[in-house]
Structure 1
């Protein structure tokens, strides 16, 4: 069964407080390749690798079903800086 945007969103939002979330299916709808941007203060004080491991652990059941997965994990402060 392919992974859906809704599955990923529901799982992330139930695990951490998400301020902003963008999920892009890069597999033309077959659910095998996703790119996400997740913004949360849950990442405060964590380096990039720790953030990626944190998100990967939350989504591990889905990631194991995908061909490709990439993420960008930012704190709210970092995200706001990208908007300016």
Structure 2
């Protein structure tokens, strides 16, 4: 369900309870994430999110295993939204990536 107006967007967010803030809180708690950046790509309706997640729990895991870990942590939230794109890094990978873009 996508929103056509700001009022519909607010209604969708309030009915699902999924906001960038709730996603960040859940990921920080369940994955012990040191950095979480959630971007709402849906224009505020809360149906399409992209995330950067930095957690030591991703160490020695493949990309698929990292995504499964995130999807398990957000099982209920993901069921309520249309699209979800996580980008998962270990703290070391994140520091290296930040250093490369500077």
Mapped pair 1:46 → 2:61: yes
- List alignment gaps of at least 5 residues for structure 2: 1-14
Count of aligned positions: 84
TM normalised by structure 2 equals: 0.78
User: Which protein is richer in strand relative to its size?
Assistant: 1
- List alignment gaps of at least 5 residues for structure 1: none
| Per-residue Cα deviation, 1:16-56 (whole angstroms, up to 9, x for no partner) | 21111100000111100000000011111111000000000
TM normalised by structure 1 equals: 0.94
Stretches (4+) displaced over 3 A = none
- Which protein has greater RCO, CA pairs closer than 8 Å, 6+ apart? 1
